[in-house]
Amino acid sequence: MSDGWDASAEAWIRVIGTDGDWGRRHVLDAPMLARACAGGAGRAIDIGCGEGRFCRMLQARGFETVGADPTAALIAQAQALDRHGDYRVEGGEALSAEGGSFDLAIFYLSLIDIGDFRAAIAEAARVLKPGGRLLIANLQGFNTAAVPLGWTHEPDGSRRFCIDHYLTERQVWTAWQGIGIRNYHRPFGLYMQALLSAGLRLVHFDEPAPDCDGDKADRYRRAPNFLVMEWAKA
């Protein structure tokens, strides 16, 4: 069964572009870049790099990057925008990189797309050098548990954010602006257990707020979409 990425690649490139969508621009980019640069520039792998936007942002800050993504059309776009960059058509569950070859590994909103997330986390840990860091931006578990409920309009005119079956791991399909892709809902504890089992140590956790105002930002502050974590390899 298709995960929707091949069919959605053109729309994804159009929506994300070079500037990113609202969540990236106003919530995630700043804290992700701050944490990435906190340890100094080095060699980084972006697992699930898509069209290569975050790789290019890291390169502008002195990093040497590798981008890996299983969707060939997205890798082709990344390569077209970064002709000399290192981009590879491969999934996070089986990376071609040698063990211990990166200072930084990144899942920027990509763990939710990976079926065998435990294998992907183990692979990220494998390719990190001792003392290397794994940086993760992910959807909140209660956000993926809201599909297809989410925000509702109540009879009294109020709005509520509704979730269900939080503890049940499952596939969820999401669609917007011509993009239709499969994500996975998982309780937060499953990610934590996999990261700890990979021998990683949590060194940073944040639930960043938007850097702007407006109706969308107000809704976000009521039910935030994202979290940011940084883990270290012993």
* pLDDT tens digits for range 211-231: 999 999 999 999 999 999 999
Q: Are strands 226-233 and 128-139 parallel, antiparallel or unpaired?
A: antiparallel
Write out the H or E segment, with its range, that includes residue 148.
none
For residue 128, what pLDDT is reported?
98
**Chain position carrying tokens 């069919």:** 7
Mean pLDDT of 177-198: 97
Write out the H or E segment, with its range, that includes residue 89.
strand 86-89
Please report the domains of the chain, with CATH numbers, ordered by start residue: 5-140+187-233 (3.40.50.150)
For residue 165, what pLDDT is reported?
96
Mean pLDDT of 21-29: 97
Burial, 90: exposed, middle or buried (Cβ in 10 Å; 0-12, 13-18, 19+)?
middle
Q: What is the pLDDT of residues 84-138, one digit of tens each?
A: 999 999 999 999 999 999 999 999 999 999 999 999 999 999 999 999 999 999 9
**Chain position carrying tokens 């290192």:** 86
Residue of 103, 102, 115, 126 lying closest to 48 (CA atoms): 115
pTM of the model: 0.96
Q: What is the token pair recorded at 37?
A: 């640069």
Q: What share of the chain is helix, strand, coil (3-state, %, to 5)?
A: 35, 30, 35
User: Is the pLDDT reported for residue 1 higher than 80?
Assistant: no
pLDDT bucket at 149, cuts 50 / 70 / 90: confident
Alpha carbon distances (Å) from 72 to 21, 90, 127: 21, 9, 22
User: Is the pLDDT reported for residue 2 higher than 90?
Assistant: no
Sorted by sequence, the CB contacts under 8 Å of residue 120 that are 6+ apart come out as 47, 91, 92, 93, 107, 111, 114
Mean pLDDT of 128-157: 94
Helix (H, G, I), strand (E, B) or coil at 146: coil
Helix (H, G, I), strand (E, B) or coil at 116: coil
Residue of 50, 62, 64, 65 lying closest to 20 (CA atoms): 50
Nearest-angstrom CA–CA distance, 145 and 166: 5
For residue 147, what pLDDT is reported?
86
